[in-house]
Amino acid sequence: MEKKIVVLPGDGIGKEVVDEGIKVLDTVAELFGHQFKYEEDVIGGAALDQFGIPLREETLEKCQQADAVLLGAVGGPKWDTLPGHLRPEKALLGLRKGLGLFANLRPVEVFGPVVESSTLKREVVEGVDVLVVRELTGGIYFGLKDRGEYDSGEAWAKDECIYSVEEVRRIAKVAFEAARGRRKKVTSVDKANVLETSRLWREVIQEVHQEYPDIELEHMLVDNAAMQLVRQPKQFDVLVTENMFGDILSDEASVLAGSIGLMPSASLADAGGLGMYEPVHGTAPDIAGQGKANPLATILSCAMLLRYSFGLEQEADVIETAVKSALEQGWRTPDLVLSQDDPKSVLGTTEITNKIIEYI
């Protein structure tokens, strides 16, 4: 198989972790006889520094012509005081919208060996396996933004949250399809007792559910979901929700897994098509360039890339198994270390990747 991958390291530790991801992809390619070609480009703060904008039109076009996009992370204190349209994060939003990546998948799987690094009790998180499906190109993120003044002279700001039936329908399908390959339960999270968009959301979810009679559907209000995620996380299989709620709940859910350094993500357009893959963590400016960053979330994102954009299920499994083996054998990056751990088993960014490549 020959495929083209656009690589967008971004800022901070982005480059370090993305480099390790590529090593792992190359290992798998050699083993299974594939050819992956990489094209690198700058986005975020790096693009602001070089070109004065966070995302260039030609970068977007390059991505549109690729088979997949591998992204590191964007942002950093250096660019934090820029006005809204010149923030590094705009690159992310621009890529999501420009590539039509409406479905964000964030699996939260609690790996046995690192269960102790969670702030939750072992019995609460052990065995947790939730897939958060977040709508990624609609809602309040992309609605009209405005400022104005009342007649009294008082200033106001406004954000509009809009959802169309079709926007909800397609993300609902992604959730129900995903549940079919899992434990067959979907929890749809909304605020239908207050929001009109949530009432539409609930109606459409219910309608799409008709096509999936084998899947159990449950509705949950977002405030309750925020509570249940840390009270009884094992009740969840697939959790589907709109953009803003998904942003909040998926970050909250990452705590279950102990370290955000283990959390991969996939952002997908229509089934089987182009996807963008990135670790959930940020640019971690405090440890950038020190060789300490945890590359596992990126490596697991590469597994998702192989599975969702290239249909290479077996290759994806091999990577995931290798990561689990490395953790089981006691190998850790600094962010995963507990005080009682053996310091000999703590590895840097490149060293732990080499371990994983050994296991592959």
Ligand X SMILES: CC(C)[C@H](C(=O)O)[C@@H](O)C(=O)O
Question: Could you give the residue numbers annotated as active site?
Answer: 141, 191, 223, 247, 251
Answer yes or no: is 96 a known binding residue: yes
Strands 68-73 and 129-135: unpaired
Closer Cβ to ligand X, 129 or 251, answer by number: 251
Burial of 39 (0-12, 13-18, 19+ CB in 10 A): middle
Closer Cβ to a copy of itself, 158 or 183, answer by number: 158
Residues contacting residue 323 through CB under 8 Å, at least 6 positions apart: 296, 299, 300, 303, 356
Closer Cβ to ligand X, 162 or 360, answer by number: 162
How far apart CA 201 and CA 164 sit, in angstroms, is 9
Q: Which amino acid is at 211?
A: E
What strand order describes the sheet that includes 264-268? 35-40, 2-10, 68-73, 275-279, 264-268, 103-109, 129-135, 238-241, 185-190, 216-221
DSSP state of 332: B
- Which residue in the set 26, 39, 40, 89 belongs to the binding site for ligand X (CB under 6 A)? 89
Can you tell me which residue has the tokens 């083209």? 4
Residues binding ligand X: number (CB under 6 A):
7
Please answer whether residues 301 and 267 qualify as being in contact, where contact means their C-beta atoms are separated by less than 8 angstroms: no
Torsions phi, psi for 67 (to 5 deg): -95, -25
Q: Which amino acid is at 38?
A: Y
From a copy of itself, ligand X, none, which one binds at residue 161 (CB under 5 to 8 Å depending on kind)?
A: a copy of itself
Answer yes or no: is 45 a known binding residue: no
Answer yes or no: is 8 a known binding residue: no
Closer Cβ to ligand X, 223 or 358, answer by number: 223
Q: Based on the shown chain and the rule CB under 6 A, indicate whether residue 252 belongs to the binding site for ligand X.
A: no
Answer yes or no: is 89 a known binding residue: yes
Answer yes or no: is 82 a known binding residue: yes
From ligand X, a copy of itself, none, which one binds at residue 103 (CB under 5 to 8 Å depending on kind)?
A: none
In the region spanning residues 159 to 218, those forming contacts with ligand X, defined by CB under 6 A, are 193-194
Binding site for a copy of itself (CB under 8 A): 84, 87, 89, 93, 119-121, 124, 140-141, 143, 145-147, 150, 154-166, 191, 193-197, 199-201, 222-224, 226-227, 229-232, 244-245, 247-252, 254-255, 260
Residues at the binding site for NAD(+) are 76-89
Residues at the binding site are 76-89, 96, 106, 134, 223, 247, 251
Binding site for ligand X (CB under 6 A): 89, 92-93, 193-194, 223, 247
